Amino acid sequence: MPTAKVSFEKKNVLVTGGAGFIGSHLCEHLLKTGARVICVDNFITSQESNIDRLLQNTDFEFIRHDINVPFDPEAFPELTRFQIKFQGLQEIYHFACPTSPKKFDQYRMQTLYANSIGIKNVLDLAVRYTAKVLHASTSVVYGSRPVDGHAFREEEIGTVDLLSPRACYDEGKRFAESVCSTYQQVHGLDVRIARIFRTYGPRMPLYDGQMIPDFITNALEGKDLEIYGDETFKTSLLFVSDAVDGMIKMMQAPTNMSPVNLGSDLDVVLTDVARRIIEMTGSSSKIIFKPALLFMTELGLPDLTKAKEKLDWLPLVTLDNGLKHTIDYTIANKSLLGLRKM
């Protein structure tokens, strides 16, 4: 590995899954801070509309590619202006993995590959360019919500059924963390692991079982708000801008203290969230309950001690403000969002 780093006017940043919900917000933030961003996505559970506003930015380039297939950025003529052969990649944010509650069964193999082949391809790129990596992991590595209700600390081993119907995601994410750790030990790679808890906000896919965006669109249209579970369903909800802020702070930190929990440590009951959305939209909608989805389950809460002490990070956006931002976005983009309804 080189003994000295060359300083460039603008860093080259690769974001896999960059057209997804969180990834697109991250791309937008990186551009605002002066980075040049390469967004790689295959649109399995994302959409082009998430990055439409970024496509005219000369510091942004979208490449439609499946990260489960090896990716050589130097082979794409549209990336010539990024001078990757000379400058390489300075940072990689890895988000690429299907996250669709309603289409979970359909994308099991892609999920399995993303958490094994995909992460290998990303880390091989990082080794090639000596790039710093942030891997977007998830709270599911801890397993189900604990009976005693304690908040998960990063030191907890967690318990996941490696033979369950959703193991390709749950155990897959655990394996992906193992891959990151092994590359760090063998290659000296700087890989930072963010364990992201349930996140919401503008650009979440509609009619996919994510509930919060569907609550809002259904409330605006006077339709029933559907909860996939019963009236006891609890969760934590982190607004997307807080998630992005946490990951940026993780990447910029002078030392790697990962894994780090990024989430809200406030427990909310989904029926209360649904009622609040009905109030905020002035809707006459009712709340109904449907059978639980395999991919949408109750999860535990994060212990945020490490994020607060090491990164000076904590969630800043209140639930009411986050919901208002998401409602305003939905109203402003209602005609576009309506085109996505299945």
Residue 46 to residue 18: CA distance in whole angstroms: 9
Active site residue 183: no
CA distance 226 to 291: 10
Residue 3 reports pLDDT greater than 50: no
The phi and psi torsions of 233 (rounded to 5 degrees) equal -60, 115
Handedness of CA 13, 15, 19, 25 (dihedral sign): negative
Instruction: Phi first, then psi: give them for residue 72, nearest 5 degrees.
Output: -115, 100
Q: Burial level of 215, CB count in 10 A (0-12/13-18/19+)?
A: buried
Selecting among 93, 169, 200, 228, the annotated active-site residue is 169
Categorize the per-residue pLDDT at 303 as very low, low, confident or very high, splitting at 50, 70 and 90: very high
Q: What sign for the dihedral angle of Cα 149, 150, 152, 156?
A: negative
> What does the pLDDT look like over 48-91, one tens digit per residue?
999 999 999 999 999 999 999 999 999 999 999 999 999 999 99
Domains of the chain: 12-338 (3.40.50.720)
Give long-range contacts, CB 8 A cutoff, 24+ apart: 31-36.
31/57, 31/59, 31/60, 33/248, 34/10, 35/10, 35/11, 35/59, 35/91, 36/10, 36/11, 36/12, 36/60, 36/82
The structure's pTM equals: 0.93
| pLDDT tens-digit map of 144-199 | 888 888 999 999 998 888 998 889 999 999 999 999 999 999 999 999 999 999 99
